[in-house]
Structure formats: C-alpha cells, structure tokens
Structure 1
Amino acid sequence: MDNSTIKQELIDVGAQWAKAMVANDAVRIGSFMTDDWVIVSERGISTKTQFLSFVESGALTHSAFEMAGDARVEQYGDTAVMTIRVANTAHFGGQQFDADELASDVFVKRDGKWLCVLSHITAVDRNFIKERECKI
C-alpha cells in the first residue's frame, strides 16, 4: 500500500474519531485507541482509562473538534505517525477551552484496523508562527 493510501486511511480514522469526540461518546472514542493508549500534553500523561472516565462522567466534553491543514503521515511497516493541526472547543471542570494544537498520533495496524497507541498535543504559539510566517 502506498503512502497516499495510508495517509487517506488515517485522515479518515481521524475524522471519525473527531466525530466521536464531538458526540462525547466514550465507547466510540475508545474504539480508536489501543488498551495501553496514552496522551501526553503540557498537563502530563493520561491513560485511556483516565481520559475516557472524564468523558463518561461528563467532566470533559467537546463541542467542536476538527483537523486543520494538511496531515503529515509516515509509515513504518504496521506503524504510522500522523502529525496534524487540530482546532477544538472543550469543556472541562466548568470552563471552556478553545484550543489550537499540533497533534502527533502513533498508530499500529491490528487485524486490519488502525489503532492509536500514543497521542501528543502541543498548543500552537500563534505569535511565533505569525512572526515567522510559518505554515502549519
């Protein structure tokens, strides 16, 4: 399978995952992750169980979640890395967060299905990008 096919497969997975996030459907969200999935952010490392428990309880909800810009995808056998810019609106602990983030997701192909093993998110520094006219 060529890289453009893999890229489209992962973009499609990402789009379905984003829909599950906006639906706040913990079961569907979890179906895109391996059991040992973790997310790394400026707040630390959270496990799949921790993340989904916030969604299930309603403590974490999303009213918007979309991939922006072009995805970068590299495949390494049954593993692929997708890097993309993500814009989302989340509600956590009674507060709204409008996020513009760079996301890196590591996927493995198991039984013909791409599953995410690791997600890493970093807030976009808009001033840095604007000053340097960077394109993300």
Structure 2
Amino acid sequence: MTEEYGTEADLREIERVADAWAAAIVADDADAMAEFMAEEWCMVAPTGIDGRDKLLSLVRSGTLSHSAMERVGPARLRVYGDTAVWSARVTNTAHYGGERYDADEWTTDVYVRRRGRWVCVLTQTTPAGSE
C-alpha cells in the first residue's frame, strides 16, 4: 500500500510510471528508460552526480545492466501541483563491467508533469542502513 497525498488519478499514474520505468531498467532497454527521464535528469548517489546521457550510454553499450529491481514495502508519494516526490526502499542487482552489485537503498524520484505526462527530473539513492 502506498501512502497517499494528491489526486487519485495522479497517484495511480505516478505509481504506473515508477513500475514501468523499473521494468525498462531490468529489461536493459535504454530507449524505454529514456521515455521516463527528462533531458535534464540526474542521479545523486553516494559516488556523486551523473546525468541521463551517461546512464543511457552505459546501458546501450552493455557495460551496465540490471537483472532485478524490486520495491520493498510501501512507497511514500506526494503530489504538489505538477511536481511529485516518490520515495521507497528498493533492492536491485546490477552488473557493471562484468561485476555483480547487489544494492539495498532508499530511492527518491522527483517527477514533473510536462505536456500531460510525468517524467523524472532527479533520482537520489541512499544505501539502506540496518534497522
């Protein structure tokens, strides 16, 4: 169950977008991934800030792939007009440069509504600590 704040239609649509984007990532489909990302999208992670083009080029080249991505527990979703903030604990398995990486992290995506659809402008990940 998702904690809710916003119109029912917006909440359902953002949940659909978040799930479809995760499926595109696991499918290693860079073109499908790009559909969910604004041109100025960036990822803020413990290693720094990277842009959309870098991520998509790593996926297209096969240097980066994902074999799993799963939300653990409920997401927190808030809609503020044409901006939405989605946060959840996510586990994923990535393969980078031939090495496997398993992650358990808190992920926050900031979406904006543009031309009638939601696109992500920023993703921030924080490693999950022990409880």
Give the structure-1-normalised TM-score: 0.89
* Stretch of structure 1 that moved more, 79-88 or 1-10: 1-10
Q: Structure 2 residue aligned with 1:109, among 92, 113, 118?
A: 113
Whichever structure has more helix as a proportion of its residues is: 1
Q: Structure 2 residue aligned with 1:82, among 81, 86, 98?
A: 86
For 1:87 and 1:2, how far apart are their aligned partners in 2?
26
Q: Deviations over 1:31-90 (max 9, x none)?
A: 100000000001100000011110000010000012221111111110010111111100
Kindly provide the amino acid, as one letter, of the partner of residue 109 in structure 1.
R
Where do 5+ consecutive residues of structure 2 fail to align?
none
Q: Secondary structure at the match of 1:10?
A: helix
For 1:80 and 1:67, how far apart are their aligned partners in 2?
18
Deviation for aligned residue 1:10? 1.4
Question: What is the aligned-residue identity percentage?
Answer: 44
Deviation for aligned residue 1:12? 1.1
Match status 1:53 vs 2:57:
yes
Contact 1:71 1:83 in 2 (8 A): yes
Kindly provide the amino acid, as one letter, of the partner of residue 126 in structure 2.
T
Q: Secondary structure at the match of 1:12?
A: helix
Where do 5+ consecutive residues of structure 1 fail to align?
130-136
Deviation for aligned residue 1:2? 4.0
Which stretches of structure 1, 4 residues or more, deviate above 3 A after TM superposition?
1-5
Partner in structure 1 of residue 29 of structure 2: 25
Q: Secondary structure at the match of 2:54?
A: helix
Q: Secondary structure at the match of 1:125?
A: coil
Match status 1:8 vs 2:23:
no
Contact 1:37 1:117 in 2 (8 A): yes
Kindly provide the amino acid, as one letter, of the partner of residue 103 in structure 1.
T
Contact 2:6 2:78 in 1 (8 A): no
For 2:102 and 2:20, how far apart are their aligned partners in 1?
20
